[in-house]
């Protein structure tokens, strides 16, 4: 009798999100203290829009809270790499928080202190970075110091859930700082580990769609921890759909074909784990006319001659808002040092880690998986787990 091969448990890979832009603070940004409808859980929530460029607003979320009746410790890790449990009562103890590594805390730098270096501008002053173990406490500090329109940098990662049979992603903020530059255009970048199989890229259908959109769609999947589904305990890692767009190089389309074939075209039965870098677009496409298409009337030209308008401002008036978009645009694969040879660099990818059967998780088996300390489950922390909207009865 043939021995059945044990399935490889799915593991979360890298997920780093960096967004720089103008904070969009409104009456809906900060929730204040809220009570769960189904338990004694108390929480505070942030829903912050960050406008990176005109028409592109990336929303990030953060949430933290506690249950008085269930005093779970907060999981953290020290600078020395030691795993520690910290009681809710000690979460604000600076002598404890100061021993933890930065990935165990929420880091907020919205106030500058001291003097700027000689010859430098005021925005080059040192940031006063506050560290919090729970967003429940960070909420009030951010609300006090974050001003609408301020140029900020927010960092975090993607979290995933399935809601009403649709896979959804959200940007979970862990760090907020004043940007190094007080003005100028921002950006939204991602580094994300995904899984690719033989169906992720279909040359016939993908290239047909690409003729209309100018982009090739890759049907990738990301791994994340799931605590519950429809109120039923799961407690394991699962995969979620995460489409990735690859923009066609109009000047050299053959190069795009080569990139897509090398990275995303797989043989039957193969699974590739690969980490990608790219840009995040959330908002509306902006279509600008070229200089040759702008027809300036005599009246407007006189305004320009008098210095009341510039030609660039006139061109901006011609910008047309297009369709609403939400996409991750691939720029390149992520590279890192070879762990076996520090003098070499390699792509962060593997074709040998998984087989197709590993991607299908048997929920009934309720297998337990080890999760990163950066994520929280309701069994291990007073902070919320991944499916917090459903857990709190908010959706």
What does the pLDDT look like over 37-88, one tens digit per residue? 989 999 999 999 999 988 899 999 999 999 999 888 999 999 999 999 999 9
Position 86 scores a pLDDT of: 96
Q: Cβ(65)–Cβ(76) under 8 Å?
A: no
Rounded to 5 degrees, what are φ and ψ at 67?
A: -120, 115
Q: Residue 94 contacts by C-beta under 8 Å, 6 or more apart in sequence?
A: none
Residue-wise pLDDT tens for the chain (395 aa)?
445 567 789 999 999 999 999 999 999 999 999 999 989 999 999 999 999 988 899 999 999 999 999 888 999 999 999 999 999 999 999 999 999 999 999 999 999 988 777 666 666 788 999 999 999 999 999 999 999 999 999 999 999 998 888 999 999 999 999 998 766 789 999 999 999 999 999 887 777 778 778 899 999 999 999 988 777 888 899 999 999 999 999 899 899 999 999 999 999 999 999 999 999 999 866 555 455 555 666 776 777 777 777 767 665 655 445 567 789 999 999 999 888 887 889 999 999 999 999 998 776 655 444 333 333 333 333 443 334 334 333 33
Question: So what's the pLDDT on residue 327?
Answer: 93
Distance CA(60)–CA(48), nearest Å, equals 5
pLDDT score at 61: 97
pTM of the model: 0.81
With the CA atoms of 349, 353, 359 and 362 taken in that order, what torsion angle do they form, in degrees rounded to the nearest 10?
Answer: -150
**Residue 247: predicted pLDDT:** 94
What is the pLDDT, as a whole number, of residue 369? 41
Quote the strand ranges of the chain, DSSP E. 15-24, 34-35, 42-53, 56-66, 74-77, 83-86, 106-109, 112-113, 126-127, 130-132, 151-163, 166-178, 187-196, 215-229, 232-247, 272-287, 320-333, 335-338, 341-347, 349-350
CA distance 154 to 170: 14
């Amino acid at each position: 009798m043939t021995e059945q091969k044990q399935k490889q448990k799915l593991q979360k890979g890298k997920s780093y999100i960096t967004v720089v832009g103008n904070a969009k603070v409104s009456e809906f940004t900060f929730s204040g203290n809220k009570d769960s409808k189904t338990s004694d859980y108390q929480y505070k929530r942030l829903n912050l829009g960050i406008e990176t460029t005109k028409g592109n607003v990336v929303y990030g979320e953060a949430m933290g809270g506690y249950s008085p009746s269930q005093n779970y410790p907060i999981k953290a890790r020290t600078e020395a790499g030691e795993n520690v449990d910290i009681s809710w009562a000690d979460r604000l103890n600076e002598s404890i928080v100061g021993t933890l590594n930065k990935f165990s805390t929420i880091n907020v730098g919205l106030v500058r202190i001291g003097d700027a270096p000689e010859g430098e501008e005021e925005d080059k002053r040192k940031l006063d970075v506050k560290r919090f173990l729970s967003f429940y406490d960070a909420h009030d500090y951010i609300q006090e110091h974050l001003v609408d329109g301020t140029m900020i940098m927010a960092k975090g990662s993607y979290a995933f859930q399935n809601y009403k049979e649709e896979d959804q992603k959200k940007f979970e903020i862990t760090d907020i700082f004043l940007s190094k530059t007080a003005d100028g255009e921002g950006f939204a970048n991602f580094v994300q580990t995904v899984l690719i199989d033989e169906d992720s890229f279909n040359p016939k259908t993908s290239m047909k769609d690409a003729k209309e959109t100018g982009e090739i769609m890759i049907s990738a999947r990301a791994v994340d921890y799931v605590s519950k589904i429809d109120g039923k305990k799961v407690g394991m890692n699962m995969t979620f759909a995460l489409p990735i767009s690859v923009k066609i190089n109009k000047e050299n389309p053959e190069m795009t074909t080569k990139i897509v074939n090398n990275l995303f075209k797989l043989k039957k039965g193969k699974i590739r784990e690969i980490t990608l870098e790219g840009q995040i677009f959330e908002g509306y496409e902006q279509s600008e006319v070229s200089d040759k298409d702008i027809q300036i009337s005599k009246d407007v030209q006189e305004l320009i001659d008098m210095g009341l308008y510039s030609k660039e401002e006139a061109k901006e008036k011609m910008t047309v808002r297009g369709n609403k978009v939400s996409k991750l645009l691939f720029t390149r694969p992520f590279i890192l040092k070879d762990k076996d040879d520090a003098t070499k660099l390699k792509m962060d990818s593997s074709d040998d880690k998984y087989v197709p059967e590993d991607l299908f998780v048997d929920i009934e088996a309720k297998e337990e998986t080890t999760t990163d300390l950066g994520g929280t489950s309701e069994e291990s922390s007073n902070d919320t787990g991944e499916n917090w909207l459903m857990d709190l009865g908010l959706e």
